[in-house]
Amino acid sequence: MSLRDVKVSPEVPKLQMTPMIDIVFNLLAFFIITFRIPAVEGDFNIKMPVNAPPSSESMDETVPLEITLRSNEAGDLTAIVFGQIPLGTDMGRLRAEVFDYLQTGAGDISKTEAEFTADGDLHYRYLIDAITAVSGYVNPENQVVKLIENIKFTPPK
């Protein structure tokens, strides 16, 4: 019998799937564990020019609305004062006052500036609530209505 007659069955190389599946499952586990639904974040612009004169001395035509936020030692809000009007701790009243001020035509939105004076201990979330209250609101049609966009802080004492 010659060698030519020997039938050698071709050996099909077997693909090793197990390591690949291991790696894929590890990657999948990593992605599932680290997956977070990203929170939507947004910004409030504030005007803080260096060495700016106080609003009363500035030569531009901006109309400052003074908003004072008072706190206790624990950092909780104890009082909101809009100009000279005490509003308790109700942000809704602050928004209503700003709304009424602009609605009556006493102030031009583009030239009106909200100037915040806050106690140092106050928690930052109350300041953001107050900025939210004067910046605008979401109407029943789910549209954002802008009120005052010029926000400023008085320097800390």
The residue ranges that bind another protein (CB under 8 A) are 17, 21, 24-25, 27-28, 31-32, 35-36, 38-46, 48-50, 69, 75, 91-92, 95-96, 99, 102-105, 109, 118-129, 131-133, 135-140, 144-145, 153, 155-156
Calculate helix-pair angle for 124-135, 91-103, nearest 10 degrees: 30
Task: Give every CB contact of residue 128 below 8 A, 6+ residues apart in sequence.
Answer: 44
Whether 119 and 81 have beta carbons less than 8 Å apart is answered as no
Of 64 and 152, CB closest to another protein: 152
Q: Hey, is 103 helix, strand or coil?
A: helix
Q: How far is the CB of 87 from another protein (least distance, A)?
A: 13
Of 4 and 14, CB closest to another protein: 14
